[in-house]
């Protein structure tokens, strides 16, 4: 299985816009490597990584898309940034939480579907 992302030492995921240089280093014996030189968008430090050719995928530097719809994005922009007091209130509510059923009833979590029991062909014949 290939690598999912290239990360800076500070933990920031490196995207295509952060990459300054890429190169390919073939080797006669052993794995060949792809060289990636980048400047981190968070800490602004230069970094470089050698990725094995087997682990390299063309989408490794692409930004992952979000799963939110345009309506949800519009709603989030109207809400504005999360305030520190809201974070503190949420943290205190989690500390006081004793039962997860209270959260699922409040937010209306969908019921969990049980997998259908597989029947053998002989059982189907018996039922008829």
78-112 pLDDT, tens digit per residue, is 888 888 998 998 888 888 887 777 777 766 655 56
How does DSSP assign 75-121, residue by residue? Answer: HHHHH-SPPHHHHHHHHHHHHH---HHHHHHHHTPPPPPPPPPP--H
**Which pLDDT score is estimated for 80?**
83
**Which pLDDT score is estimated for 8?**
93
53-69 pLDDT, tens digit per residue, is 888 886 787 766 667 78
Q: Where are the domains of the chain?
A: 80-107
């Amino acid at each position: 299985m290939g690598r999912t992302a290239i990360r800076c030492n500070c933990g920031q995921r490196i995207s295509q816009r952060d990459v300054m240089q890429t190169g390919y280093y073939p080797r006669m014996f052993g794995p060949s490597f792809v060289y990636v030189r980048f400047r981190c968008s968070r800490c602004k430090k230069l970094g470089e990584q050698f990725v094995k050719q087997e682990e390299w995928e063309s989408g490794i530097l692409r930004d992952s898309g979000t799963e939110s719809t345009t309506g949800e994005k519009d709603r989030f922009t109207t809400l504005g940034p999360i305030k520190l007091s809201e974070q503190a209130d949420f943290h205190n509510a989690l500390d006081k939480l004793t039962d997860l059923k209270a959260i699922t009833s409040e937010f209306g979590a969908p019921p969990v579907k049980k997998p259908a029991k597989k029947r053998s062909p002989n059982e189907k014949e018996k039922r008829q």
